[in-house]
Amino acid sequence: MQNNWIRNTRHRLADADSLLPLSILGVVSGFSCALVILLFRYLIETPSALWLPNNDAENFEALPQWAHFALPVMGAIIIGLFLSRMKPENSRTGIVHVITRFHLDHGHLPLKNALVQFFGGAFAIATGQSGGREGPAIHLGAAANSLLGQKLMLPNNSIRLLVGCGIAAAIAASFNTPIAGVIFAMEVVMLEYTVGGFIPVMLATITSTAMTRAVHGSEMIFSIPPISMASLWEIPFIALLGLAVGCCAALFMVILKTALRYNDKPILPRMVLAGLITGCCALLVPEIMGIGYDSLNAALANKLPLTVLLLLIIAKIIATATSSGLGMPIGLIGPNLLIGACIGSAMGDLGVNLFPDLASNHSFYVLLGMGAMMGAVLNAPLAALMALLEFSNDTSMIFPGMLAITIATLTNSELFNQKSAHQTVFQHIKLLLPTDPMSLALQRNSVASVMQRSLCTTPPQMTADQAKLLLKENTQWYVVIDDANRPINLIAGVDMIDHLEKNIGNNTVYLLDGSLAMQPLTALNIQATLKQALNKMDDNKVNALFVSGYISGSYPDNGIVTRDDIEQYYKKPPSY
């Protein structure tokens, strides 16, 4: 009975319209993701607090000057030595790795890469590398849910959804922003908005946010005072802020592209170079070390002088873009929030000095800079806007936020012809992902949701008595198998019955004598999506597949899926 329940659950999960089981999956995924993210955060903060002054996990600035250079360099050398002992495919981490596996490998993320991200990412941040924990958190949340789905042998479409849930839950747990998590997952990774996707992903973010708040409280990680837009006369100045952010985002992409050119070099020299660049920048501006949330809060409180702000912007861009491009297992979201905050703070100082009667609160510009930089670098304007809304808890930020984010994104993409950070990497490695509407639609459902289960297997020849028994089956399809039980041909039920009735008087009935209409057949695992099925048909030049898998007791779960079945699915009207 338990095996039947598991098999039935898998069948229901194969259908993108099965909201109840998919919703339960979303809750489970949010729980598992939150556990991993909390553990990752603990792994970063606990050792950092032990060796940093005042037991502050972000107090790199209080270290002696020699440590500002030595710590990131030594940390980079250790990371390089560790990664040099691994195969290159096992050292790929971050959002780019997740997006690639999501679209090309149906959400199957390897355990080894997740372990590299978990320990390598935590060590990199703890040793002062200029990176954030959100990118690693996205990888870890996605990997935890992917591995869970693989362990339970779920259909690939539901594993892809689990990965989407993990991404959203990771953002929600990292920033305490559930709405931004949902939009980010769908805008950057999943690249589609569907009811069947929205509800499970929202439940995942609700669950992960609740668990994170239970452990760390409901306070935002950024201290943002009440803010609002003072006057419509600020619109030109906000547009100017967006332009400045867009220029910095474009500079970030140019440096990232330059660093990516060395990706074919050995990993150890690349890590050493990343550590040296970070160490040199830290000698000048130690605030670039680590995640930098303490500096971001200082910018919000207007405690950073203009000189420090400008140096921090340049140094953070150089260190983060270079380290990321060279393969350091760090994230980009946190650093770019800091860069945007510093730009906003500098622009706020300028606005207050030039137009003291018209300018808004200083924190208003800092927050706009954060959202604009996030939107431009990730090409995720809606996710950035939702993050602004949740950071500020003030709907009045929507209007100016839309303006700043739009101008920054357009400046980066149109004025400087730059793409987002992950798109820049894909362009460099010349990787084209199947993100057209048809491919996305076919990956939402697995073959188990459309396959025809009325079938019977038969050898290519049989006795008259076996033929009589086969006549009684009266199924829709007959699958001819070879001596190794591999499917080789497919015969329609009507044709098979007609052939058996004509040859029932013979001692031996032959199916491959050329008198029976049949089509070639190849096998496919039942976990496969409809996209995988179509690719399999094209690769093997067949129009039908024998689907098998999920052995429950002694009852194999088999079926037939044809090209017509897939075309009918794609052409059917969408359900709302």
pLDDT tens for each residue of 445-503: 999 889 998 888 889 888 888 888 888 887 899 999 888 888 999 999 888 888 888 88
Burial track 15-44 (b if 16+ CB lie within 10 A, e otherwise)? bbebbebbbebbbbbbebbbebbbebbebb
Please say whether the beta carbons of 454 and 467 come within 8 A: no
Q: Please give the distance of CA 306 from its chain centroid, rounded to a whole number.
A: 36
* Residue 304 CB contacts under 8 Å (≥ 6 apart), including other chains: 295, 298, 312, 342, 345
Q: Which residues, listed in sequence order, are joined to residue 388 by a DSSP beta bridge? A: none
Predicted local confidence at residue 103, as pLDDT = 94
Could you tell me the residue ranges of all domains in the chain?
2-216, 232-267+276-428, 446-571
Kind plus residue range of the DSSP H or E element containing 134 = helix 134-151
pLDDT class for 136, splitting at 50, 70, 90?
Answer: very high
2-216 and 232-267+276-428, same CATH topology: yes
Residues 324-337: pLDDT tens digits? 999 999 999 999 99
User: The tokens of 254 are what?
Assistant: 């140019």
pLDDT in tens, 260-288: 999 999 999 999 999 999 999 999 999 99
Instruction: Enter the pTM of the model.
Output: 0.92
Provide the residue type at 90 as one letter.
Answer: N
Distance CA(15)–CA(409), nearest Å, equals 36
Q: How far apart are the first and last CA of the chain?
A: 34
Confidence category of residue 360, pLDDT binned at 50, 70, 90:
confident
Query: What class is the 2-216 domain?
Result: mainly alpha
Contact between 215 and 176 under an 8 Å Cβ cutoff? The reply is no
Please name the helix (run of DSSP H) or strand (run of DSSP E) that holds residue 519, with its range, or none.
strand 519-520
Cα distance between residue 31 and residue 208, in whole Å: 6
User: Closest Cα partner for 215 from 165, 177, 176, 180?
Assistant: 176
Select the more confidently predicted residue: 109 or 228: 109
- Tokens coding 3: 């095996």
How much is the pLDDT for 550? 63
Tens digit of pLDDT for each residue in 507-539? 888 888 888 888 999 999 999 999 999 999 999
C-alpha dihedral (229, 234, 239, 240), degrees to nearest 10: -120
DSSP string, 387-448: HHHHHHT-GGGHHHHHHHHHHHHHIIIIIS----HHHHHHHHTT-----SHHHHHHHSSBGG
Q: Architecture of domain 446-571 in CATH?
A: Roll (3.10)
* CATH number for the segment(s) 232-267+276-428: 1.10.3080.10
Radius of gyration of the chain (CA): 28
